[in-house]
């Protein structure tokens, strides 16, 4: 089947098998390997991308379902080579740790910050529920999001 | 994990979906896909044809009509969560939507999909049961409406026939002064209910109690309802409800919780739910 998608602002047309998962399309056809395959069972959130601006697990969607959609992956977060403020937060707050779960978290939490510019810690932790970090270091991930929220709000204070 | 090869067809109307379902072959409806696709990847489900109903405009949206909130079946959990009518008239649906899965699941998963799939641990079945909702179905031979209490028939089984599609869920707006709650003890990874309890207390004294996660399918607990309905909700009435709850129910036992533990949780969550609507 033929699909047309826009990924990180670039239009693509490809012939794909209906059973091709979106995550495999992104990684193996477009070679955008920033999106990771973690559990492959719709739990861990490592494969999260934005489909029409909504965080979506790309291991639980067929590429054909994305026909006509706009997709944003981690590669599209820093289009001019300048880090997104949340990426900067992860760097500053040591939120990456091993880094495997990071791209998925970035795709959920950049959307979260758009809708919740001044989140509480509880809001952040609730939003992170669809992501498993096996370094188990959620503390620094929460701090990274708080850093970004503070920056966005143009506030001086940064979580200690 | 790669599913078995299948044919894929995206449809833009309910009629087109019904025609595809009736065209022979093993057609299966795909809405959000968050239950079906994992099952296909495990090859537990191997449909020859996937009929994608995810982009049918008529299946989206929530409206108020004749004293009911009508939730079109393809409405996502997140659209329910952020809907003003739901917050205003069905606060326990709002609370439940917040507890479903995670942000990504709520963005794709739909209420109709959840009801059709009838996972024994899904949240919506308990809510539609407690709210005395009606479920609208469309088939090649016409439309019909079923009470939620008639809909669920077994493990992943419902009254929905193979050539039918859920089009809407009609929820009567509870009378002024009603109180409602949904509480669940969740699996921390999937956030499916190990035990979920939905309670609606109406001003005339009736109390609707529904459980999910406890048995093969969600159910109204007539015994517990009888113990508290129309009574002063004191400690004695609550204890009576706890004693009467989940009696005669074949309680699930799995690697998350034994039957004995689930039974205990059901009674604990019933008490908490009743306290919340006092």
Running along chain B, 278 residues long, what does each successive block of 10 average in pLDDT? 95 97 88 96 95 97 98 98 98 98 97 98 98 97 97 97 96 98 93 97 97 98 96 91 97 96 98 96
- Look at A64 and B33 and tell me if their CB atoms are within 8 Å: no
Same domain, B197 and B272: yes
Interface contacts (A, B; CB < 8 Å): 76
Same domain, B143 and B48: no
Scanning every residue of chain A, which has its alpha carbon at the shortest distance from the alpha carbon of B8? Answer: A18
Residues 6+ apart with CB under 8 A from A139: none
pLDDT tens digits for A61-113?
999 999 999 999 999 999 888 999 999 999 999 999 999 999 999 999 999 99
CA–CA distance, B99 with B161 (Å, rounded to integer): 29
ipTM of the complex as predicted: 0.94
Same domain, B108 and B201: no
Cβ atoms of A20 and A63 within 8 Å: the answer is yes
Contacts of A113 in chain B (CB under 8 A): none
- The 10 Å CB-count burial string (b at 16+, else e) for B88-103 is ebbbbbbbbbebbbbb
Count of Cβ atoms closer than 10 Å to residue B76 Cβ: 23
Contacts of B7 in chain A (CB under 8 A): 18
Closest CB to A56: pick one of B10, B107, B191: B107
As given in the structure block, the two tokens for residue B219 are 């159910």
CATH number at B145 reads 3.30.465.10
CA–CA distance, A23 with A33 (Å, rounded to integer): 9
Q: Tally the domains of chain B.
A: 3
- Look at A129 and B30 and tell me if their CB atoms are within 8 Å: no
Q: Residue B36 domain-assigned?
A: yes
Same domain, B187 and B168: no
Percent of chain A at pLDDT above 70? 96
- Look at B33 and A60 and tell me if their CB atoms are within 8 Å: yes
Q: Residue B132 domain-assigned?
A: yes
Same domain, B154 and B201: no
Quick check: A158 pLDDT over 90?
no
Q: Residue B37 domain-assigned?
A: yes
Place of tokens 């959840």: B114
- Look at B4 and A19 and tell me if their CB atoms are within 8 Å: yes
Same domain, B102 and B148: yes
Same domain, B212 and B250: yes
Same domain, B13 and B46: yes
Residue A12 pairs with which residues in a beta bridge?
A: A5
- Of B172, B206, B228, which residue constitutes the final position of a domain? B172
- Of B115, B141, B172, which residue constitutes the final position of a domain? B172
Cβ atoms of B83 and B63 within 8 Å: the answer is no
What confidence score (pLDDT) does residue A51 get? Answer: 98
Q: Residue B2 domain-assigned?
A: no
Cβ atoms of B97 and B110 within 8 Å: the answer is no
Residue B157 domain boundaries: 57-172
pLDDT tens digits for B180-219?
999 999 998 889 999 999 999 999 999 999 999 999 999 9
Backbone angles phi, psi at B211, to 5 degrees: -115, 145
What confidence score (pLDDT) does residue B225 get? Answer: 97
Same domain, B164 and B244: no
Count of Cβ atoms closer than 10 Å to residue B179 Cβ: 16
Closest CB to A64: pick one of B3, B8, B190: B8
- Look at A62 and B7 and tell me if their CB atoms are within 8 Å: no
Q: Residue B211 domain-assigned?
A: yes
Residue A141: C-alpha distances to residues A33, A136, A144, B188, B234 (Å): 22, 10, 5, 19, 45
Domains of chain A: 2-75 (3.10.20.30), 85-152 (1.10.150.120)
Q: Residue B1 domain-assigned?
A: no
CA–CA distance, B50 with B30 (Å, rounded to integer): 6
DSSP track, B133-188: -EEEEEETTEEEEEEHHHHEEETTEES--TTEEEEEEEEEPPPTT-EEEEEEEE-T
Q: Residue B97 domain-assigned?
A: yes
- Of B172, B198, B223, which residue constitutes the final position of a domain? B172
What confidence score (pLDDT) does residue A155 get? Answer: 63
> Cα-Cα-Cα-Cα dihedral of B187, B193, B194, B199, to 10°?
140
């Amino acid at each position: 089947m033929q699909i047309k998608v826009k990924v990180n602002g670039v239009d693509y047309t490809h012939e794909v098998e209906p059973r091709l998962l979106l995550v495999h399309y992104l990684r193996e056809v477009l070679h955008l390997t920033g999106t990771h395959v973690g559990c492959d069972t719709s739990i861990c959130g490592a494969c999260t991308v934005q489909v029409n601006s909504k965080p979506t697990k790309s291991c639980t969607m067929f590429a054909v379902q994305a026909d006509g959609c706009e997709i944003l992956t981690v590669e599209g977060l820093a289009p001019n080579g300048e880090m997104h403020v949340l990426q900067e937060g992860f760097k500053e707050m040591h939120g990456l740790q091993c880094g495997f779960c990071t791209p998925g978290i970035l795709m959920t939490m950049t959307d979260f910050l758009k809708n919740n510019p001044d989140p509480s810690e509880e809001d952040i932790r609730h939003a992170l529920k669809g992501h498993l970090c096996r370094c188990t270091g959620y503390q620094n991930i929460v701090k990274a999001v708080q850093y970004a929220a503070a920056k966005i709000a143009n506030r001086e204070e940064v979580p200690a | 994990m790669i599913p078995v090869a299948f044919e894929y067809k995206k449809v833009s109307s309910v009629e087109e979906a019904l025609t595809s379902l009736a065209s022979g072959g093993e057609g299966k409806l795909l809405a959000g896909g968050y239950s079906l696709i994992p099952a296909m990847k495990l090859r537990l489900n191997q449909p020859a044809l996937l009929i994608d109903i995810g982009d049918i405009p008529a299946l989206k949206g929530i409206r108020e009509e004749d004293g009911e909130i009508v939730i079109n079946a393809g409405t996502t959990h997140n659209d329910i969560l952020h809907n003003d009518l739901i917050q205003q008239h069905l606060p326990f649906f709002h609370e439940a939507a917040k507890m479903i899965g995670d942000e990504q699941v709520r963005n794709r998963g739909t209420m109709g999909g959840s009801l059709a799939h009838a996972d024994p641990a899904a949240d919506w079945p308990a809510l539609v049961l407690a709210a005395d909702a009606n479920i609208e179905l469309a088939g090649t031979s016409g439309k019909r409406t079923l009470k939620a209490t008639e809909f669920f028939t077994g493990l992943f089984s419902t009254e929905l026939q193979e050539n039918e599609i859920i089009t809407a869920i009609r929820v009567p707006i509870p009378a002024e002064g009603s109180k409602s709650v949904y509480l669940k003890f969740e699996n921390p990874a999937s956030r499916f209910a190990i035990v979920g309890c939905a309670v609606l207390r109406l001003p005339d004294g009736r109390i609707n109690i529904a459980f999910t996660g406890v048995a093969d399918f969600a159910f109204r607990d007539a015994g517990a309802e009888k113990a508290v309905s129309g009574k002063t909700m004191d400690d004695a009435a609550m204890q009576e409800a706890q004693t009467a709850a989940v009696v005669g129910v074949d309680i699930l036992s799995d690697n998350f919780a034994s039957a004995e533990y689930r039974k205990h949780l059901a009674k604990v969550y019933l008490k908490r739910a009743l306290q919340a609507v006092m």
